[in-house]
Amino acid sequence: MKQLLRLALAADAVALMTLTLGSWTRINGAGLTCPDWPLCRGHLLPPLGDGTLWEWSHRLLAFSVAPLVLALIVAGWRQRGRSPFVAPTVGIIAVLFLVQVALGAETVRLANSPLSVVLHWATAMALIAALSAMAVFAAAKRTVAPRPSARASSSLALVLGATAAAAFVTMCIGAYVSSSGAGLACLSIPGCAGHVVVYTPGQFVQMLHRFAAGATLLCAAAALALAWANATPARIRAALATGVALVAVQVLLGLLNVALRLPTDLREAHAVNAALVFLSFFVATIFAVLDSGPARGPALAGKESAAR
């Protein structure tokens, strides 16, 4: 499983870098410097001025994910008998990667329309989450002690899953806000122009993003309280604490973006941090699901060690 773990981590890292560079490219207005796909202005290596360097570098990095994903699929299929989670995750990764490639081409064709940007971002994050899950399945072991009660463990997994889902929805709405130019539709906090009722589409989507962010914050607080009230394994607490800390950073970045009128660096930091918030709670959920299963006895652990 070590080879599978290394491939999952490598593909995960490169995919996350691709996502970050793609976000930076779009935020800097260079997302349409290559109006065709897969070539750029009909060339394999186009002139790299006027922001084309960012878009073409993003594509090259995206292409480099392909051999890593292919190698991961092969390794995962060979190791599918080692864990009941590996084979389904391999299938999910394969489907998401193909969809993501198609969406990349479609986003160019649709000239980075807000909906295409959201779908492209959402699928990229789903792929990165699947790669992260594969890494966890390849490396993680169920804990023997301490273990919370079955009810507490199931409740924690449910709340963590809800937090990850809320973070994912918030992130996707945020992508729409950014790509549609609605980032400054509401210049006051917590209301919009001093009002809770909004009138323009930009104000509506901006306030929807804020409400979703509030739901994420509440879910994160509930998960933290539940985890610390029970004997929760250390790895879940670590992932959860990381997620809560990143939520606090995300709130601060959101406030600064409004107060400073969307400087480019802060917009990028806000987008990348949103991805990390989602991944932290997603990984915590995976840990909770794994740890909610029956504890392994010493004999079974010994047999698995011998099998390795």
Q: Tokens in use for 197?
A: 């009722």
Mean pLDDT within 277-302: 74
Q: How far apart are CA 274 and CA 251, in angstroms?
A: 10
pTM, two decimals, is 0.89
Is pLDDT at 240 greater than 90 in this prediction? yes
Q: Are 295 and 142 in contact (CB under 8 A)?
A: yes
Q: How far apart are CA 202 and CA 282, in angstroms?
A: 29
What pLDDT does residue 145 have? 45
Q: Are 255 and 190 in contact (CB under 8 A)?
A: no
Reference 242, options 205, 191, 203, 283; nearest CA is: 283
pLDDT in tens, 161-174: 999 999 999 999 99
What pLDDT does residue 8 have? 95
pLDDT in tens, 114-137: 999 999 999 999 999 999 999 999
pLDDT in tens, 19-61: 999 999 989 888 888 888 888 888 888 888 778 899 999 999 9
Band (215; pLDDT cuts 50, 70, 90): very high
pLDDT in tens, 71-104: 999 999 998 888 889 999 999 999 999 999 999 8
Angle ∠(60,61,67) on CA atoms, nearest 5: 95
The one-letter amino acid code at 240 reads: L
Q: How far apart are CA 35 and CA 41, in angstroms?
A: 7
